[in-house]
Amino acid sequence: MKEILKKAQQNKYAIGSFNFSTTEILKAIVLAAKELSAPIIVSTSEGEAAFIGIAEAAALVGAWRHGTKLPIILNLDHGKSLESVRKAIGAGYNAVHFDGTNLDYEENIAQTKTVVDYVRDIEEKYDQQIIVEGELGYLRGSSSVHQEALEIKPEDLTSPEQAKDFVERTGVDSLAIVIGNAHGVFSKSEEKLDLERLAQIKDALSDKVFLVLHGGSGIPEEDIKKSIELGIVKINVNTELRMAYQEGLAKELKEKPQETTPYKILQPSFEAVKKVVVEKIKLFGSENKI
Ligand code: G3H
Ligand code: ZN
């Protein structure tokens, strides 16, 4: 599992991490990856996992792995507690993101370290690999369409010195950073990445850790490409999939109000999500990387 990210780091492309909360979204993500022979990460937040079921999400991903032979990493996204991490690993997740950014710096380190220690224990006990991601900086927004403009303050951004200290003291495999990215799509402003800050963070950490960009929706393509060039190896995308799903569904319900067959009603949403995933995989450069 870690090899997938290592290869991306060495060859300067990024693995897409796509969120799902229904079976047809998962199917759209997996079939897009299959079409392009791309390794992928599929993720559920705590809310998404609660909706689809954590054991059910793991079982579905297992079935897709078996059916497609694709390397698919199943990731807990923005886990807020050790309990949440425990449940995900217990269900069979291969990666966990612990988000301690609502804590102060020292407490974030302490709780992330507890999560890392727990994960390393499990890895040793069961001879399996689990990727642990920590997060540093203040990431604004939520995975939805925001009507207000995005305002990012300099103090929101990840500090290169703290990033180095955080990685050394916690031992995380991956680090989610804030460099002008935010969750969601902002209709009144553009998300602009601070690429200089990214270069400084990369300088401080070299290849010791996998750098992660959350809030992958709504960032200009040029910035995404440059961020990969500068060391980002995992990019999380959710809102653009949600928008595609919602638009596909709204259009279908409007055009065919008499349709009652779920798999027919959901077909346009499935196709719209798949199209977005195909575009993102191509943009991230992870096509034909199996
Ligand atoms: O953790 C999930 C991602 O950061 C999604 O961000 O909704 O802006 O694509 P996004
Ligand atoms: Zn995120």
CB 238 near ligand 1, within 6 Å: yes
Interval between CA 77 and ligand 1 midpoint (Å)? 9
Q: Which of 141, 147, 90, 155 is nearest to 119 (CA)?
A: 90
pLDDT digits (tens, 9 = 90+) for 87-128: 999 999 999 999 999 999 999 999 999 999 999 999 999 999
Ion ligand 2: residues, Cβ under 5 Å? 214, 236
**Nearest-angstrom CA–CA distance, 161 and 163:** 5
How does the average pLDDT of the chain come out, rounded?
97
12 CA distance to ligand 2 middle (Å): 21
Backbone angles phi, psi at 76, to 5 degrees: -85, 125
Please state the φ and ψ torsions of residue 143, each to the nearest 5 degrees: -75, 75
How far apart (Å, rounded) are the C-alpha atoms in residues 48 and 43? 9
Is the beta carbon of 181 within 6 A of some atom in ligand 1?
no
Three-state secondary structure call for residue 45: strand
Q: Write 119-128 long-range contacts (CB < 8 A, 24+).
A: 119/85, 119/89, 120/171, 122/89, 128/94
Contacts of range 49-52, beta carbons closer than 8 Å, 24 or more positions apart: 49/76, 49/88, 51/21, 51/22, 52/20, 52/21, 52/22, 52/23
Using CA positions, which residue lies closest to atom 10 of ligand 1? 215
Q: What is the spatial distance between Cα 191 and Cα 217, in angstroms, rounded to a whole number?
A: 9
203 within 8 A of 197, measured Cβ to Cβ: no
Per-residue pLDDT at 87: 98
Q: Is the Cβ–Cβ distance between 63 and 51 less than 8 Å?
A: no
Nearest protein Cα to ligand 1, atom 6: 215
165 is catalytic: no
Phi, psi of 211 (to 5 degrees): -85, 135
pLDDT for 277 beyond 90: yes
pLDDT tens for each residue of 146-184: 999 999 999 999 999 999 999 999 999 999 999 999 999
Q: Is 239 in the pocket of ligand 1 (CB under 6 A)?
A: yes
Distance 236 CA to ligand 1 centre (A): 5
The response to whether residue 75 sits with its C-beta less than 6 Å from ligand 1 reads no
Question: Which tens digits make up the pLDDT trace of 219-251?
Answer: 999 999 999 999 999 999 999 999 999 999 999
